Amino acid sequence: MSQLKKYPLSDIPHYKVHGRTVPGTCPLPLFFNGSAVELNVSGSELWVDLEVSWHALEMWVTIEVNRELISRQMLMPGIQSLCLFRGMSEEPVKNVRITRETQAMIEDEDCCLIVCGFQANGSFYPVPKGKYTLEFVGDSITSGEGTYGAKGDLDWIPMYMSYSRDYTKMTADALGADAYIISKGGWGVLSGWDNNPNCKIPSRYEQLCGLCCGPKNESLGAFTPYDFSARKTDAVIVNLGTNDASAFQQPAWHDPATGQTFKQHLNPDGTFVETDLNRFKDAVVSFLQLLRKCNPQAHIVWCYGMIGYDLSFAINDAMTRYMKESGDHNVIYLQLPLLTEETVGSNNHPGEPSHRRAARLLTEYLRDYFSRIN
Q: What share of the chain is helix, strand, coil (3-state, %, to 5)?
A: 25, 30, 45
Could you give the C-alpha distances from 271 to 304, 343, 359, in angstroms and in order? 19, 28, 31
Q: Dihedral of the CA atoms 229, 19, 176, 328 (nearest 10)?
A: -40
* Cis, bond preceding 128 (omega within 30 deg of 0): no
pLDDT of residue 2: 65
Q: How far is CA 260 from CA 164, 188, 195, 252, 265, in A?
A: 39, 19, 11, 10, 16
The dihedrals phi and psi of 371, each to the nearest 5 degrees, come to -70, -30
CATH architecture designation of domain 133-373: 3-Layer(aba) Sandwich (3.40)
Q: Residue 207 region, left (φ>0) first, then alpha (ψ -120 to 50), else beta?
A: beta
Q: Which of 2, 37, 47, 1 is nearest to 16 (CA)?
A: 37
Q: Which of 185, 187, 198 is nearest to 347 (CA)?
A: 185
- Indicate the fold that domain 5-125 takes in CATH: Jelly Rolls (2.60.120)
Region at 228 (left for phi over 0; alpha for psi -120 to 50; beta for the rest): alpha
All CATH 2.60.120.260 domain ranges of the chain, comma separated, are 5-125
β-bridge partners, 41: 94, 124
Distance from CA of residue 162 to its chain's centroid? 9
Residue 264 to residue 193: CA distance in whole angstroms: 10
Give the Cα separation of 370 and 365 in Å (integer). Answer: 9
Nearest C-alpha neighbor of 98 from the set 79, 75, 77: 75
3-class DSSP string for 328-351: CCCEEEEECCCCCCCCECHHHCEC
Nearest by Cα to 222 from 16, 17, 26, 29: 29
Residue in 135, 127, 60 with CA at minimum distance from that of residue 99: 60
Residues 6 or more apart in contact with residue 39 via CB below 8 angstroms: 12, 14, 15, 16, 46, 95, 96, 97, 118, 124, 127
In this prediction, the residues of the chain whose per-residue pLDDT falls under 50 are 1
HSE-up of 38 (CA within 13 Å, CB side)?
20
**CATH code 3.40.50.1110 region(s) in the chain:** 133-373
pLDDT digits (tens, 9 = 90+) for 84-110: 999 999 999 999 999 999 999 999 999
Sign of the torsion angle spanned by Cα atoms 156, 158, 159, 164: positive
Q: What is the CA radius of gyration of the chain?
A: 21
The whole-number pLDDT of residue 89 equals 97
| End-to-end Cα distance, the chain | 48
Q: What DSSP assignment string belongs to 140-179? A: TTTTTTTSSS-TT-----GGG--STTSHHHHHHHHHT-EE
Inter-residue contact 194 to 253 (CB < 8 Å):
yes
* pLDDT value, residue 374: 78
Q: How confident is the model over 179-238, as pLDDT tens digits?
A: 999 999 999 999 999 999 999 999 999 999 999 999 999 999 999 999 999 889 999 999
Residue 217 to residues 25, 210, 255, Cα–Cα distance (Å): 14, 10, 25
